[in-house]
A and B are shown apart, each in its own frame.
Chain A
Amino acid sequence: MNTMKILIIVPAFNEEETLRGVILGVRTFLSQADILVVNDGSTDSTANIAREEGVLMLEHPYNMGIGATMQTGFLYALRNGYDIAIQVDGDGQHNPEFLPSLIKPISEGKSNLVIGSRYLSDGGFKSTLLRKLGIKFFSSIIWILTKKRVTDPTSGFRAIDQKGLELFVNEYPSDYPEVEALISASKKGLHFQEIPTRMRDRQGGTSSIGILSALYYMLKVTLSISIGSFRRVR
């Protein structure tokens, strides 16, 4: 199924240290895909690097958050007729080696959404206690609401098909979108699954999640989901 149009969406906010490596990695492991950098208001040379590398680029005039950034990419993908869109973070933690296995279930028509999980195999991803707790929490929520086991619900390393695109261009949370996206996908009857991946530790920059934002993440998702379950699906 090499006729499918594939778009790699690289959300990037000040990723000048790692962006070039990410682009090279994607070109090595999934050469037929187009690469779209969505520059979320970077103040460093992220945009220049994307231009030098000759990849597609969309530029937010100001920082809008990871959710809105991905959604901009989804809009581009849907309007330009892509069959599959894949998120590969600009910080280099998503290993492009796994791109072919990430799209396989979609191109075979088995899934609408595929998540690259750090915990499905014994890849030995180092985790902090807080991260483990958070993951456990989100996994239980997803299990309760969708009766599906997801080992890595906050992983952003994902591929979606056109059905996923059609859903996410209309509803995708602006911040911390990963968990809620899975639940709205499940409500819409989309099928999702995980594949084992190994992720690298950050190659540059700093993690966006500290203890306060982790708490906010959990509270926000809980609130949104518990209220959202009373909302009718559009």
Chain B
Amino acid sequence: MMSIRLNLVAIIGSIILLLIILELVRTKYLRERYALIWIVTGSLFLLLSIRVQFLYGISSFLGFTVPSNTLFFFGILFLLSIVLGLSVITSRLTEKNKVLTQEVVLLKKRVADLEKSHHSGNPNL
């Protein structure tokens, strides 16, 4: 059984996590698109700390002897999926960044060429 003190720490921790997420969304440091999964996670933490029985229920259903292992198991699974998702996002950004850079490089050359022909065409400039 979980002590009241530990339970309280868990609840407060979850609330702080949720508040940080909401603040990040509010200040636009975190896009709504990516915030959703974090808000769901934070809420899940909160739910589990308020009703610890859920955790015990899931543990005995899945056959974990120690409830904390259930938490670790799903925690690691969740982190793995987040990291994988981030790798996907990074790959996409790398590709887009490359295309953008190449376009800028070509545009710079074009502008320089245009400036040159403009200047040579109009000696007054």
Please list the residues of chain A having a beta carbon within 8 angstroms of any beta carbon in chain B.
Answer: 56-62, 64, 68, 71-72, 75-76, 79, 174
A223 to chain B, nearest CB (A): 14
- B98 CB to closest chain A CB (Å) equals 5
- B interface residues (Cβ-Cβ under 8 A, vs A): 98, 101-102, 104-106, 108-109
B98 touches A68 (CB 8 A): yes
* Residue from A58, A62, A174 within 8 A of B109 (CB atoms): A58
Complex interface: chain B residues within 8 A of A174 (CB): 98
Closest chain A residue to B104, Cβ basis = A61
Alpha-carbon gap, A64 to B102, bound state (A): 10
B102 to chain A, nearest CB (A): 5
Could you tell me the distance in whole angstroms from the C-beta of A159 to the nearest C-beta in chain B?
Answer: 21
Please report the number of residue pairs spanning A and B whose Cβ atoms sit closer than 8 angstroms.
28
Contacts of A68 in B (CB 8 A): 98, 101-102
Interface pair B98/A58, CB less than 8 Å apart = no
Known: A60-B101, A68-B98, A76-B109. 20 other contacts (CB 8 A): A56-B109, A57-B109, A58-B105, A58-B106, A58-B109, A59-B105, A59-B108, A61-B101, A61-B104, A61-B105, A62-B101, A64-B98, A64-B101, A68-B101, A71-B102, A72-B105, A72-B106, A75-B102, A75-B106, A76-B106
Which 6 A/B pairs are nearest by Cβ-Cβ distance? A72-B102, A58-B105, A68-B98, A58-B109, A72-B105, A75-B102
Chain A residues positioned under 8 Å from B101 (CB to CB): 60-62, 64, 68
Q: Nearest A residue to B97 by beta-carbon distance?
A: A64
B105 and A79 within 8 A (CB): no
Q: Chain A contacts of B108 at CB under 8 A?
A: 59
A22 nearest CB across to chain B (Å)? 20
Q: How far is the CA of A87 from the CA of B101 in the complex (A)?
A: 21
Which of B104, B105, B109: most chain A Cβ within 10 A? Answer: B105
Q: How far is the CA of A204 from the CA of B15 in the complex (A)?
A: 61
Q: Which residue of B lies closest to A65 (CB)?
A: B98
